[in-house]
Structure 1
Amino acid sequence: MPDHTTAMLLHATVIGTGATLVMDAWAILRKRLLGVPALNYGLVGRWLAWLPRGRFHHQPIAATPPVRGEQAIGWIAHYLTGIAFAGILLGLWGLNWVRQPTLAPALLVGIGSVAAPFLLMQPAMGAGIAASRTPRPNLARMHSLVTHAVFGVGLYVAGWVANLTTRSL
């Protein structure tokens, strides 16, 4: 039987990875059905790689010179972010949530996670607060909200997977 901290980290990793996989599956489906291009996590990697060099804001990030390994950096950050939000879910609702996952907390965290791109990533990468500097800001916002709601559903589904696979812990 792992201690509480180990159990929290294990569950956050399983749930966050699972929810991020659901979000990525949604991106593939959205591209095939609606023709909406998937996000380029290499640009996230580029942004992260420029941070230690003292550059937080880009205008736009696509115009910033590429960095070696930016794709890997971006994808790793994408999954670590999903794990972190699963950790927030478990931090707020505890391990009891994994024993009996419910949709409302997962959706609340999933939809709430849209604050990260709206208030941090999009402004830092030159798209403005909540995609205000994009060609179609309302459409970009809607896509972000739906994607993060799907992430919330993914948290719920992954919570049930964690419940079923870790009952002996």
Structure 2
Amino acid sequence: MIDLVQWVGSSVLIGAGATLVMDGWAWLQRRLWQIPSLNYSMVGRWLGHLPKGQLVHQGIANSAPIPGETVIGWVAHYLIGMVFAAGLLMVVGQEWALSPTLLPALLTGVITVLAPYLILQPGMGAGIAASKTPNPNLMRFRSLVAHISYGVGLYIAAVMVSRMWG
């Protein structure tokens, strides 16, 4: 039986930790190779337009700004990371958080790339799997690498949480 407090706590800590690793990887790519990362203000803008009934934009940068879009985007980014971690724990079991292995974390990272491919990129005007961008394959690759870094982060964060819960 799942201990709800431990499951929620593990989901929050592992998800936030994994998202932090993902952000650290994005920071390194930007600093070392000048690879731009996702602008979370635009994620907040996209989310801010959802209650108004606008799911798809021609280009999110051209849509009207939303008050607090930067905060909205960053908070959503971390909450989504926590939700994905909760999904991992639901599939593999809470026991994984006590004795984590790399493969489920990496598979989760790879699977989560479907969210930007099928939801965020089309909604922001980039098309399914960035098909409307100037270099779709490069954008797909960057998204995949970002989400693999999230998967690595799931494992690293779970190892840290297992030491805390253990």
TM-score, normalised to structure 1, is 0.96
Displaced runs of 4+ in structure 1, greater than 3 A? none
Q: For residues 6-33 of structure 1, give each alpha carbon's deviation from its aligned partner in whole angstroms, at most 9, with x where no partner exists.
A: 1110000000000000000000000011
Q: Distance in 1 between matches of 2:119 and 2:105?
A: 22
Using the aligned pairs only, state the percent identity: 52
In structure 1, what is the equivalent of residue 137 of structure 2?
138
Q: Distance in 2 between matches of 1:129 and 1:57?
A: 11
In structure 2, what is the equivalent of residue 12 of structure 1?
11
Q: Report the number of matched residues.
A: 165
Q: Distance in 1 between matches of 2:78 and 2:157?
A: 14
| Letter in structure 2 aligned against 1:145 | L
Matched, 1:76 2:38: no
Query: What 5-or-longer segments of structure 2 have no aligned partner?
Result: none
Q: Distance in 1 between matches of 2:13 and 2:165?
A: 10
Shift of 1:38: 1.8
| Letter in structure 2 aligned against 1:12 | S
Q: Distance in 1 between matches of 2:101 and 2:73?
A: 30
1:130-169 map, 5 Å:
130-167=129-166
CA contact (8 A) 2:7 2:89 kept: yes
1:25-44 map, 5 Å:
25-44=24-43
Query: What 5-or-longer segments of structure 1 have no aligned partner?
Result: none
Root mean square deviation of aligned Cα: 0.8
TM-score, normalised to structure 2, is 0.97
